[in-house]
A and B are shown apart, each in its own frame.
Chain A
Amino acid sequence: MSDPVSAMNGAKFSGLAQVEDSGLQGMITLRGDLASDTLKAAVKAATGADVPASGHVSLSAEGGVAWMSPDELLLLVPYEVVDAKVVDLAEALKGEHALAVNVSDARGVFRLSGDGAREVLAKICPVDMSAEAFKPGQFRRTRMAQVAAAFWLDDDGAFHIVCFRSVAAYVFNLLSVSAHPQSKVGVY
């Protein structure tokens, strides 16, 4: 019987920052015309959040929406309801040219928190991680060492990292190595 497990099954590491497997997260890739009112309404109905501006995430109590590209969003919903949400979206977007697919199980999701979190990411991503440059609500797709990854920063100062499931162990180890307790850079 179905007893789903996330890629890293609850793994944790604590050093310069805390790295935790976020567990199962419902995720839907939605491609379509982001300017369409129908799409905006469908997204709001599915997540409780609005379509964010480019390079941002908009979060609600139950979920959120991340801006992936000019015609793609990543919807965040509870894992248990993701299939129903995909059906609802398909229904709501009937007649629009759009594609909604469940990608919840295709991903590893990690939470990176603590004072050293910015430095940990700055070791592996070619992104300006200074507080002036990367603010809460920003969302970035980039390269994390040798794999593609995306992350956003929440209002509590924690980063949420999304990568492909097959490389979740690599990313977890990468974050843990970069968070070695004696590797503080001391600039952020």
Chain B
Amino acid sequence: MLILECPYCGVKAEETELAAGGEAHLKRFGPGSSDEEFHDYLFMRENPKGVHFERWRHANGCGKWFHAARCTMTLEVFGTYSAQTTEPPKEIQDKISEKRPNWTWRDVK
């Protein structure tokens, strides 16, 4: 059972306080987008063995959504960070690079 630190209230919350929210940093496509763009936005998701970025909500807590970077294989958590960002912050990316030098995720390297 995972523990993630909520970046908003600082609580090291165990999984039962949290709700998982799927893949992070999806870009929304609305009216005017192509069928393919919209299809990918709705349905296409990463399923990596390794570094992954996810959305979580501190549901039984401060109620805030946040992002977590973790390894799906070892469950190592590289960090949690604000939901108000469209890509993983540099310090999180650097931290991952330290531990997993050749990691990639979507077009992030």
Question: Which A positions have Cβ atoms within 8 angstroms of B?
Answer: 54-55, 67-70, 72, 126, 140-143, 148
Contact partner of B9 among A55, A143, A148, CB < 8 A? Answer: A55
For B9, the closest partner residue in chain A by CB is: A54
Contact residues in B for A69 (Cβ distance below 8 Å): 8-9, 62-64
Interface residues of B, CB < 8 Å — how many? 13
- B61 interface residue per 8 A CB criterion: yes
Q: With A and B bound together, what is the CA distance between A125 and B26 in angstroms?
A: 33
- The answer to whether B9 touches A70, judged by C-beta atoms less than 8 angstroms apart, is yes
Alpha-carbon gap, A70 to B83, bound state (A): 13
Task: Assess whether B30 is interfacial by the CB under 8 Å rule.
Answer: no
Residue of B nearest to A126 (CB): B14
Q: Is the CB of B62 within 8 A of A143?
A: no
Interface residues, chain B, CB within 8 Å of chain A?
8-11, 14, 16-17, 59-64
The CA-CA distance from A140 to B60 in the complex, in Å, is: 10
Contact B62 A141 (CB under 8 A): yes
**What's the dominant secondary structure at chain A's contact region?**
strand
Q: Do B16 and A143 have beta carbons less than 8 Å apart?
A: yes
Q: Is the CB of A141 within 8 A of B60?
A: yes
Residues on B with beta carbons closer than 8 Å to the beta carbon of A68: 62-63
Q: Which residues of B contact A55 (CB under 8 A)?
A: 9-11
Shortest Cβ distance from A141 into B: residue: B61
Q: Which residues of A contact B61 (CB under 8 A)?
A: 141-142
Residue of A nearest to B1 (CB): A126
Min Cβ gap B18→A in Å is: 10
Measured CA separation A148–B60 after assembly (Å):
5
* Cα(A42)–Cα(B70), bound, Å: 41
